[in-house]
Amino acid sequence: MSRPHGIPLPSARRSSDSDEKESACADDKQGQPRPREGVRQLTGAERVRTLVESNASVSLTLPDAFDQAEWWTGVPAARTVTPDGDVILLVPGESAAARAAAHAQDDDLTAVIEITDVAPVSVPHRIRARARLTGWLTPVRGDDRAVCAALLAERHPVGELLGLAESQDPPYTGRPAWMMLRLEVGEITLDDLWGAEQVDPDELAGAEPDPLAAHETELLQHLASAHADRVADLCGLLGSREAAGLTAVPLALDRLGLRVRFTADSGRSSFDARFDFPEPVADVCGLRRAMRALFAAAAR
């Protein structure tokens, strides 16, 4: 097994006003640390697919809504991606999105999904990613309903799927308590820890979500609370960079490696380091082996 290595991802310079407007991950002091070129990473489509099917915060808006009071339609209960690359959303049957989509034709209802991913641990610059998917919204109809419900249940086993039948409660008697909507994606923008880019919607269909995404929050919080000393030891893999006076917090995890944010005690500067696994992991069992190898390398 090859020795895991750390790749410093240098801290960005202080952001100017124009930089802050361009980067969704910037704040008023310092932008997110960005990677050097050539670092092994998930593709943009894989990162978007992972965000769509994660527990990150999501909102749905209808920019062309006639009634501007209904421009923001709320938070879908669940979402997933079909083999064709469409995004399926589960929304309340009485919501503005459900009512508007019920009367929509194939391409006359523009909708925007915005996803914001926040680190589940306390670090500077806590927003890890923002994604924006724009397209056309229609209800899921006919035989597609069973197929899409099965996809949602596979990714998000939520009780709301039981409410796809008609409600018996006034004033919504005869309406579905919950409705599945389909977003045919026309444009995707992504701004995350790896940088900002446009993602081809056609690539979303073939991309797979990261296999660790469902466990990432729990794993990062466990590393931060139970193994903080071992995470801090990883600084020893960075070569000439001094470990003294730094705190280390595990920031992100995927099948290819672990990202750690190192912050000076003053809190005024930080940098990221990416620790690649010897090989991609497929599940939590593979992750345990990879983490043991990583910690062993840092202890030498």
SS (H, E, C) 73-87: EECCCEEEECCCCCE
Question: Beta partners for 95?
Answer: none
DSSP state of 277: -
Q: Looking at the predicted structure, is the pLDDT value of residue 282 above 90?
A: yes
32, 23 in Cβ contact below 8 A? Answer: yes
At residue 66, the pLDDT reads: 59
Pairwise pLDDT comparison (261 vs 245), residue with the higher score: 261
**What are the tens digits of pLDDT across the range 203-260?**
999 999 999 999 999 999 999 999 999 999 998 888 655 556 788 999 999 999 999 9
Q: Looking at the predicted structure, is the pLDDT value of residue 183 above 80?
A: yes
Closest CA to 199 of 28, 77, 50: 50
182, 90 in Cβ contact below 8 A? Answer: no
Confidence of residue 9 (pLDDT cuts 50, 70, 90): very low
* % the chain with pLDDT above 70: 74
At residue 228, the pLDDT reads: 94
Q: Whole-angstrom Cα distance, residue 44 to residue 7? A: 20
194, 47 in Cβ contact below 8 A? Answer: yes
To the question of pTM greater than 0.85 for the whole model, the response is no
Question: Beta partners for 184?
Answer: 136
Strand ranges (E), the chain: 6-9, 57-61, 72-74, 78-81, 87-92, 110-118, 127-139, 178-192, 195-199, 246-254, 257-264, 270-276
